[in-house]
Amino acid sequence: MTAADATRRAAEGAARQSYGKLVAFLAARSRDVAAAEDALADAFAAALATWPVQGVPDSPEAWLLTAARRRLVDAARRRQTADTSVDHLLLMIDEAAEGRDTEAAEEGVPDWRLRPPGH
């Protein structure tokens, strides 16, 4: 049996035995079933890419849970960063429209930190 076959067999076994339990656990933590399913799907994809090289872990279910949980955390951080960025950008637009930063606004860049070096 090849490494790819062993990987597929282990991933298939984990999916059959633990998929529902893993989704339920992840969804209980995130309160988002769709996000939990997406994170678990990403974890299975990562397993299919990683396990043939590194070997199937002793506990595939725990590996999948850890990978999916990390993906959920990463997604939450990206959402939080995006939400914060939108608020900050809206504030910058408002300040530029009110003429608070007239020097930067005249140059077309509302924040001096965003200007290219040498300008």
Q: Which domain holds residue 73?
A: 3-114
In a domain, 68, yes or no: yes
pLDDT exceeds cutoff 70 at 100: no
In a domain, 119, yes or no: no
Domain count, the chain: 1
pTM: 0.64
**pLDDT of the residue at 102:** 52
In a domain, 23, yes or no: yes
Structure tokens of 13? 């076994």
Q: Which residue has the higher pLDDT, 20 or 101?
A: 20
- When pLDDT is averaged across residues 47-64 and rounded to a whole number, the result is 89
In a domain, 110, yes or no: yes
In a domain, 53, yes or no: yes
pLDDT exceeds cutoff 70 at 24: yes
